[in-house]
Amino acid sequence: MLNLFELDFNEKASCNLPEDLGYSQEDRKFMALVSDGIRYSEGHYEIPLPFRHQNVNVPNNREQAFKRLLRQKKKMMQNEKYRNDYVAFINDMIEKGYAEKVPEESLRTDANNAWYIPHHGVYHPKKPEKIRVVFDCSAKLCGTSLNDQLLQGPDLTNSLVGVLTRFRQEPVAFMADIEAMFYQVRVPVTQRNFLRFLWWSEGDLNAELVEYRMVVHPFGAVSSPSCSNFALRHTAKENEDEIGYAVANTMRRNFYVDDCLRSVKTEVDGKNQIACLRQACAKGGFRLTKFISNHRSVLESIPEEERSKEVKLLDLNYDDLPIERALGVQWCVESDTFGFRIIVKDKPLTRRGILSSVSSIYDPLGFAAPFTLTAKKLLQDLCREEKLEWDDELPELYRNRWEKWRNELPLLERLNGVSNLLTLERPSRERSTSFRTPALPATAPQHIFVSVTVNLVSIVPFSWEKPDWPQLK
């Protein structure tokens, strides 16, 4: 519950760049290790595993990984879809060179200096047809795990609010993502034995087990997000003289992990930026793909195989552009507005049920804050006045308040397509400069209204328009 309320006043949710927030001592150590150890080889960057200590001593956990795999085998034998998806994922990973068989020499000489990672399959709730095999680097033996041995590194991810806000800044927008971002950053050969895992050859569950090892930074390692983000930023830095400041800055400021959200002034700018970004990312071994744009001419300039799956099936001359998810937010590409998709689920009439329902409204930009405030106030009252336990039934008075709010919840979907502040209307090409802070005169008056009550704090910033400053809104 504390996390729910702190989201409204989160410094990390600002528009600051990650490096502006400062580093801890461990973060500085991480940055020193990866900065000194990064290498470019065969079209990809290689970054060492950022171990806490130079000499890594881990117990032999092969038996643990073996038992975990037997449990996965049992699950696969009971679920044909799970088995087929799991086998296809691992086989694809091996075929693409993300994993390799452990060489015979390493099997003989490095048996006491290796770590075996258990793994399991996970389906995304919004993509039930797609499995991801996650490596459990937190699995412990003798009080330690691979993640315990690794430095997590600083959070090099841009602020989600900052990326979304910049995405609404100019009239021509496009979105894309990096294919298998973590798997494009390699691990030095000397460290790969710490990334061993057990699997069957060709995915045949009746065959003998074979020892494999990851060649790249795996999903599940605590250091992988920082390593992949560092590699992308390093790509921008190393190639900035060639690709130019604008493209390099896009790689630094307009990516949220593997998702790129960018807006520019004109369709020509959009076409050029996309072409340059694809080339720039490729220099670091990253493939930028699944493009979608709110302008058809921009989409037409992108090779069909690099467009998002939903757009590939469209006739751009006649069909409406689809609804996409922009960092989890519903983006109606045709009308170019943000909105909500609400699914009301039955929850117990308890504090726990209310918290679950309120938390299910994904609203990083705070569009629905006036509405969700009512439910948050109800939670506050239940804690402060009634002192109910998590699973106690709501008193009648509070039940009526909750049912009224819950019945109004589907009305949030009506915000879709509304051209007002709630959907963060994108500026037209003629007035796009009014949304760019550098265009404002240094002497332009800036005003902030603040209203404080027992229940809420409301803050509204704005600029004062004068005839001398026609670009202000």
Average pLDDT over every residue of 288-313? 95
Model pTM score: 0.85
With cut-offs at 50, 70 and 90, classify the pLDDT of residue 432. Answer: very low
DSSP structure class, residue 385: I
Q: Which of 85-94, 127-136, 424-433, 434-443 has the highest mean pLDDT?
A: 85-94
Query: Which residue reads 């973590």 in tokens?
Result: 182
> Helices (DSSP H) in 365-422: which residue ranges?
369-381, 396-408
* Domains of the chain, CATH where assigned: 14-158+183-226 (3.10.10.10), 351-415 (no CATH), 425-463 (no CATH)
With a cut of 60, say whether residue 431 has pLDDT above it.
no
With a cut of 50, say whether residue 423 has pLDDT above it.
no
CA distance 34 to 263: 31
Using one digit for the tens of pLDDT, what is the confidence trace for 122-152? 998 878 888 999 999 999 999 999 999 999 9
Task: DSSP for 243-278, please give it.
Answer: H-HHHHHHHHHSEETTEEEEEESSHHHHHHHHHHHH
pLDDT of residue 6: 52
pLDDT of residue 465: 56
Using one digit for the tens of pLDDT, what is the confidence trace for 77-111? 999 999 999 999 999 999 999 999 999 988 877 76
| Residues β-bridged to residue 291 | 307
pLDDT of residue 212: 97
Is the torsion defined by CA of 18, 19, 20, 24 positive or negative? Answer: positive
